[in-house]
Every structure is written in C-alpha cells, then in structure tokens.
C-alpha cells in the first residue's frame, strides 16, 4: 500500500465516521456502535470503499496507545493490590469458561481439540471495548472497573500459553514439550527483568528529556518508550497491546504521567476509532443474514453464559453482588485477541472457515451489544439488588436534617470540615476503598457505598436528609444520583458540581437546586482578579461579574435568566422560577471572598458628606478604611484620619471580613427609586 492509498483510506474512514457519528448523536447511539456501522458501510461487505488491510496497521496502533494510556492510570502499587482479583478471580474465570465450553462442544459431537480451542476463544473478553467505555465514563477506578481490569490482564497474559498450545491441538507440535515449557519460563523471566528495568529507568530518562523543555522531544520520547517496551516484550511472546499496557504501568509512578496523557490522548482517540471500524469491516452481512436466527440465539446464549461464569468467579473472591454483576456483564463479550487466536487456529487446521465465520459474527454481535448492556445493567442492579452491607449506626440517630456528601475528594473534605465545625450530622459515601479505610480510622462517618444505587441512598437516610452534596466528576453517575435523590425525597436540597457549563441545563432539569461549574467559576474568578488588580471599585467588579455569569447562563440554559419588570408582557417564560432560583443560589455561592476591597462613594448614599468617625465602620462591621482616593485628585490618602470626610466619587479602600464588607456595602450605594 503506497502513501496515496493510506491517505485515501484514512480520509474515507474519518469522513464516513463523522457522518455516522453526527446521526448517531441525534439518536443517542453509543460512539462504539457508530464506529462498527462505519466499518460495515465502507468495508468489503458494504460498499467496498477500502480493504481491511488498509486500516489494520492504524487499528493495531490505536489498541497499543489505548492500552498504554490505561496503564498510565494504574500504578504498580495498585496493580499489586489487585493480585487477588488477577490470580484467583482470573484463574477461576478462565478455567470455568474454558472447561464449560469444552464440555458443551464435546456433547454436541465436536472433537476435544476443537472444543478446547473454542473454549480458549470464548474465555477472552474485549479489553479495548470495555476499558474504553469505562475510561470515558470514569468507571475504571470504581470497584467493578478494577475487577474488570484485573480479569482482563489475566486473560491477556494467557494468550501466550494458548498460542503455544495451538500446534499441539492441531497435532503438528514437536515432542519437545519440556523445551517449550523452558522457553516459556525463560521468556517470563526476561519479561520481568524488562518491566523492573522500565520502572526504575524510564522516569529518569523522562526527567532528563523534560529538562530540555522541548515539547517535540518529550512527545518523541513518549512514543519511543511506549513502542520500544511493547516491542521488547513482544519478543517474548507478549502481545504488543499488553506490552504497551505494562509500559504505561512502568511510567505511571513518574511525575510526568499526566503530561503524557495530555500529549497522547488526542492521537489515541483517533487511532482507536480505526480499531473499532476494523471490527465492523470484518462482519459479512450476507452470511449474518443467512444465519441470523442461529447467530442472534447463540450470541444471546453466550452473553448470558459468560455473565454467569464471570459472576461466579468474582463472587468466589468475596466481591459484593452489585459490583460482581456489573463486572460480569461488562466482560460478557468476546475479545479482540480471540480474533488473532482464532485466525491462528484456522491456519493450523483446528477450525474450519465456516465455524470461524460463525464465531466471528457472534463475537461482533456481542461486542456491539456491550455498550447497551453496560448502560442498562446499573439501572437493574440499582433497582433490584440490595447491598449486602449493614446500615451505619449513625443513620439511626440522624432521624432528620442530616447532610449526605457523595465523594470525599478536596471539595467533599471541606464540606465535611464545615459541617463538623457547625456540629451538623453528616454521612459520606465514597467508592475508593483506600480513602474509606483511612478516613474511617480517623472517625469520619464514611462508608464504601455507591451513591448511584437507590438502596444505598436509602441506607444513608436520604428521605430525612436536609441536603445532598455531590462532589464527584463523573457526569453519568451524578445524573443518576440526582434523579434518585429527587425521586426519593422531593424536598431535599441538591448541590452538585459540574466540569462544564454545557452540562448545567440538564442537571437543573433532572432536579439539582445548585450547580457549581468548575469552568464558569474559573472564568469569573480570573476576570475578577484582573479587575481587582487594576484598582477597580468593588461595585463595578460585582456588576461586571454578574453580567458575565448571566451571559453564561443565557447561553447554556434553555430559557435565559434576565431581569424583567413585573409589568412586562409575556415575561412568564423568562422568569421561570426554576432558573431564577438556580441562578440566585449559584450567585450566592460564587461571590468573591476577598478581605480587601475598594468601594466607590455613590452620589446620594448614606455616607456621602460624612466623616469617617461618624459612620463607625469598625464598630458596626469590623471593617477599617486603609486608603481614600478623592474624586478629581491623583494622589491617594493612606491611613486617613477620622475627620476625613467622604464625597461622591471617592474610592475607599477597606479591609475586613467578607461578611462585614458585604453588610457595609449598602451605605456606599445610592438609594434605588421605586418605579
């Protein structure tokens, strides 16, 4: 394939993907399904615009970068902490699945070699699909996400011995079994040496590269490390994707993992799309149509079968029922490594082309069903599965008016500290086991519960709670919590955070009372800092800030919130109480908390024409005047005497508590005439 063909292939894939994804967005179709459909349309069984060989290289690079970035978010410490899941849960899942499939196939008359090999194929799940979904939804760090990651790591590692077993199953293997085992052991030892060396050497290499302050050199170094370690590990039988994952794990402990993620993510997202497109291109629509009852029936049976086996495997290591179901369903599809293993089996004569084509069609159907199942199953678990944990003792005492905090990051900790200072009862719901363990030892009323489940909210006393503060960033989970909390307690005050302004409207619609938007508040606070540094009076700063905040609201909520006179005609929609209340609450929570302010003396205000000693600012408000810039004068009077009088247009610099300055402010403002 020459350069022109490669560019044409990339162009065809991306143009078609844009069209399909735009339509899919209107239909709320998962993005992965859009890629599958793109592959079907442009592939050899669709319009035949490009061949599979033309995108295979880009697809492989996408999987490698996906696994590399996932590894960056999993430190060696966290990986070792999952050893129970990886070794015990992974072994149970692999052995039970392979044995059950093998026995079932032999019962239908297949030979032992074919049955065992198909068991190998079915045992694997799609690392690329499920981790891509979990990474986008922020579920990789949740309990079921970690379980899925642990089992996937074990499955991927076992591709090596399965590939070695192919010649023996085909009857073409040599007699030197001992030699093969020795080669495997030597390969694993070399693999361990490479990984240990990477953990110690890679951070040092990155440090020297970062000191050059060359962005281009840093990106090149990242790519070399990723592909270099993956290639070295592949020399010992490890797949390139798994090698890239381990390369990411090696770098995860360095100070540069977040910078690397920022550099690699855009490239990864584009290349990963080629992998999903390539999966769609493999689907023979004519074959599927001719055998659709068999394929759909077997696909449904396989999804149910793997879900059951996965559930049994993770329950055996003591995982909670809800998390076990979520991880079991997430891993119920067939994996991409099964395609590689399956093609090897066809070439070796273990599988016939027809059997492999049926297996391929079933696998793609299970992959296509995965995004829908992953989105649906939490709702079922939330509704029907009760958490097997005791209710906290605190909830018996918190009959009413306690607070619920979801998430114990920086925001959650400050909220808890404020509630403790005011002696208000609260309970914290957190899904990070390490955080729960550490904070519980300190006496914090924190519990390892997923607040997106209504049963958990019930245990936390949602029906009698005064407020719920949601400080987690995962938007899908936030929406689920808001909906459940509002349904279970219509009177509760719901305060939540949001990363982006565009999400505000949806959150208010489903029941939030106050939304603190990271993006908006950053913009407003930076704006106010700039104005304050330019010696602008506090009234002007507040006025401009309100204008900015109103503009942002008007842009992203369905109905603009703008001041209206009560006599205006047709103003009802604009004054919808939901948006007015939301804006007022957000304004109140977002005000500047500076202790030093500049205030302009307005014409006709209470203090205009009076001396400082006559208005008693320090006595009544705890505020002191530190400087005055009189109207029309260039110089500023520092530490003015009590006999100094204030005139209209003067700018007064004050210092004091935020509340005191706020209460004092009306004295400097002209009285508003009623219309």
Q: Give 308's pLDDT tier (boundaries 50, 70, 90).
A: very high
> pLDDT tens-digit profile of 313-329?
999 988 888 888 999 99
Whether the CB-CB separation of 646 and 608 falls below 8 Å is answered with yes
Q: What is the pLDDT of residue 73?
A: 65
Range name among 87-91, 447-451, 515-519 with the lowest pLDDT average? 515-519
Q: What is the pLDDT of residue 547?
A: 61
Q: Tokens 């009760």 map to which residue? A: 386
> pLDDT tens-digit profile of 341-378?
887 788 888 888 888 888 888 988 898 899 889 888 88
Average pLDDT over residues 511-526: 69
Return the exposure string of 234-250: e unless at least 16 CB atoms fall within 10 Å of the residue's CB, then b: eebbbbbbbbbbbbbbb
> pLDDT tens-digit profile of 588-645?
444 433 466 788 888 888 888 899 888 888 888 888 887 888 888 877 777 788 888 8
Q: What is the pLDDT of residue 102?
A: 93
Q: What is the pLDDT of residue 562?
A: 36
pTM score: 0.58
SS3 460: coil
Q: What is the pLDDT of residue 103?
A: 93
Average pLDDT over residues 485-498: 88
Q: What is the pLDDT of residue 397?
A: 44
- Say how far apart CA 563 and CA 571 lie, in whole Å: 10
State the chain's mean pLDDT as an integer: 77
Bigger pLDDT: 475 vs 529:
475
> pLDDT tens-digit profile of 453-483?
777 888 788 888 989 999 887 787 888 899 8
Does CATH number 3.40.50.720 belong to domain 393-498? yes
Q: What is the pLDDT of residue 99?
A: 94
Q: Give 258's pLDDT tier (boundaries 50, 70, 90).
A: low
Average pLDDT over residues 240-250: 77
What is the DSSP track for 378-431? HHHHHHHPPPSSPPPHHHHH--SS-EEEE--SHHHHHHHHHHHHTT--EEEEE-
Q: What is the pLDDT of residue 427?
A: 92
Q: Give 565's pLDDT tier (boundaries 50, 70, 90).
A: very low
Q: What is the pLDDT of residue 566?
A: 35
- Say how far apart CA 84 and CA 170 lie, in whole Å: 34
Q: What is the pLDDT of residue 595?
A: 60
- Say how far apart CA 344 and CA 351 lie, in whole Å: 9
Distances in Å between the Cα of 535 and the Cα atoms of 113, 153, 530, 593, 675 are 82, 58, 9, 17, 33
One fold for both 393-498 and 594-675? Answer: no
Please name every residue paired with 470 in a beta bridge, in sequence order, or none if there are none: 406, 496
CB atoms within 10 A of CB 519: 15
DSSP letter assigned to residue 672: P
According to the per-residue pLDDT averaged within each range, which of 37-41, 199-203, 253-257, 578-582 is highest? 37-41
Residue percentage of the chain with pLDDT more than 70? 78
Whether the CB-CB separation of 562 and 579 falls below 8 Å is answered with no
Burial class (CB in 10 A: 0-12, 13-18, 19+), 653: buried
Q: At CA 405, angle to CA 442 and CA 493, rounded to 5?
A: 150
> pLDDT tens-digit profile of 433-443?
667 878 888 88
Residue percentage of the chain with pLDDT more than 90? 10
pLDDT at 569 over 50: no
Q: What is the pLDDT of residue 556?
A: 47
DSSP letter assigned to residue 142: S
Size of the chain, expressed as the number of residues it contains: 675
- Say how far apart CA 552 and CA 521 lie, in whole Å: 10
Q: Give 96's pLDDT tier (boundaries 50, 70, 90).
A: very high
> pLDDT tens-digit profile of 141-197?
777 888 888 888 888 778 767 877 787 787 765 555 566 666 667 666 776 777 777
Q: At CA 422, angle to CA 420 and CA 426, rounded to 5?
A: 45
CATH class as words, domain 594-675: alpha beta
Q: What is the pLDDT of residue 675?
A: 41
Q: Which residues contact 7 (CB under 8 A, 6 or more apart)?
A: none
According to the per-residue pLDDT averaged within each range, which of 393-397, 419-423, 484-488, 640-644 is highest? 484-488
Average pLDDT over residues 570-580: 36
User: What are the residue ranges spanned by the domains of the chain?
Assistant: 1-43, 65-384, 393-498, 514-565+575-592, 594-675
- Say how far apart CA 348 and CA 369 lie, in whole Å: 30
What's the CATH number for 65-384?
1.20.1530.20
Structure tokens at 71: 């590894």
> pLDDT tens-digit profile of 23-62?
888 887 778 788 888 988 988 888 888 887 777 777 778 7
Average pLDDT over residues 642-655: 87
């Amino acid at each position: 394939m020459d350069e022109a063909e490669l560019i044409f292939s990339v162009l065809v894939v991306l143009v078609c993907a844009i069209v399909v994804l735009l339509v899919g967005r209107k239909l709320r179709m998962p993005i992965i399904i859009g890629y599958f459909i793109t592959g079907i349309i442009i592939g050899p069984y669709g319009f035949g615009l490009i061949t599979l060989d033309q995108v295979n290289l880009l697809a492989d690079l996408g999987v490698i970068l996906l696994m590399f970035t996932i590894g960056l978010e999993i430190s060696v410490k966290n990986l070792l902490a999952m050893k129970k899941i990886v070794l015990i849960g992974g072994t149970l899942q692999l052995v039970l699945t392979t044995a059950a499939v093998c026995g079932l196939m032999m019962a239908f008359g297949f030979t032992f070699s074919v049955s065992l090999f198909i068991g190998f194929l079915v045992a694997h799940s799609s690392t690329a699909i499920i981790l891509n979904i979990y990474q986008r939804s922020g579920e990789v760090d949740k309990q079921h996400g970690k379980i899925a990651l642990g089992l996937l790591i074990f499955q991927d590692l076992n591709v090596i011995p399965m590939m070695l077993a192919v010649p023996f199953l085909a009857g073409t293997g040599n007699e030197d079994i001992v030699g093969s085992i020795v080669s495997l052991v030597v390969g694993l030892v070399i693999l361990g040496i490479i990984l240990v060396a990477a953990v110690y050497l890679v951070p040092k290499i990155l440090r020297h590269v970062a000191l050059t302050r060359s962005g281009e050199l840093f990106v090149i170094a990242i790519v070399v490390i990723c592909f270099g370690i993956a290639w070295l590990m592949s020399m010992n039988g490890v797949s390139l994707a798994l090698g890239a994952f381990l390369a990411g794990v090696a770098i995860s402990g360095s100070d540069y993992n977040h910078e690397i993620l920022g550099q690699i993510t855009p490239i990864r997202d584009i290349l990963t799309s080629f992998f999903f497109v390539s999966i769609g291109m493999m689907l023979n629509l004519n074959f599927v149509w001719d055998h659709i009852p068999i394929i759909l029936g077997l696909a449904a049976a396989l999804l149910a079968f793997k879900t059951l086996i996965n559930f049994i495997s993770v329950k055996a290591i003591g995982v909670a029922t809800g998390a076990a179901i979520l991880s079991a369903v997430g891993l119920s599809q067939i994996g991409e490594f099964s395609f590689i293993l399956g093609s090897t089996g066809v070439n070796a004569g273990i599988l016939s082309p027809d059997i492999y084509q049926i297996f391929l069609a079933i696998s793609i159907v299970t992959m296509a069903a995965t995004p829908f199942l992953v989105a649906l199953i939490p709702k079922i678990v939330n509704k029907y599965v009760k958490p097997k944990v005791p209710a906290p003792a605190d909830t018996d005492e918190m009959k009413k008016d306690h607070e619920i905090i979801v998430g114990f990051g920086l925001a959650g900790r400050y909220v808890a500290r404020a509630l403790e200072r005011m002696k208000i009862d609260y309970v914290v719901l957190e899904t990070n086991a390490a955080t729960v363990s550490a904070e519980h030892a300190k006496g914090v009323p924190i519990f390892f519960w997923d607040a997106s489940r209504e049963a958990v909210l019930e245990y936390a006393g949602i029906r009698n709670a005064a407020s719920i503060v949601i400080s987690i960033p995962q938007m899908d989970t936030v929406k689920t919590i808001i909906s459940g909390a509002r349904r279970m307690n219509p009177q509760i005050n719901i305060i939540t955070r949001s990363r982006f302004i565009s999400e505000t409207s949806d959150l208010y619609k489903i029941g939030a009372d106050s939304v603190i938007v990271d993006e908006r508040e950053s913009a407003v606070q930076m704006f106010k800092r700039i104005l304050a540094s330019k010696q602008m009076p506090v009234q002007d700063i507040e006025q401009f800030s309100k204008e900015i905040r109103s503009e942002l609201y008007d842009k992203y909520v369905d109905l603009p919130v703008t001041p209206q006179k009560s006599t205006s005609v047709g103003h009802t929609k604009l004054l919808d109480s939901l948006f007015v209340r939301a804006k007022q609450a957000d304004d109140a929570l977002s005000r500047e908390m500076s202790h030093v302010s500049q205030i302009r003396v307005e014409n006709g205000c209470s203090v205009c024409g009076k001396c400082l000693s006559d208005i008693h600012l320090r006595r009544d408000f705890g505020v002191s005047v530190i400087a005055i810039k009189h109207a029309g004068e260039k110089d500023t009077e520092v530490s003015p005497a009590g006999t100094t009088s204030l005139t209209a247009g003067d700018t007064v610099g004050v210092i004091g508590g935020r509340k005191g300055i706020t209460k004092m402010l009306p004295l400097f403002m002209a009285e508003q005439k009623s219309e």
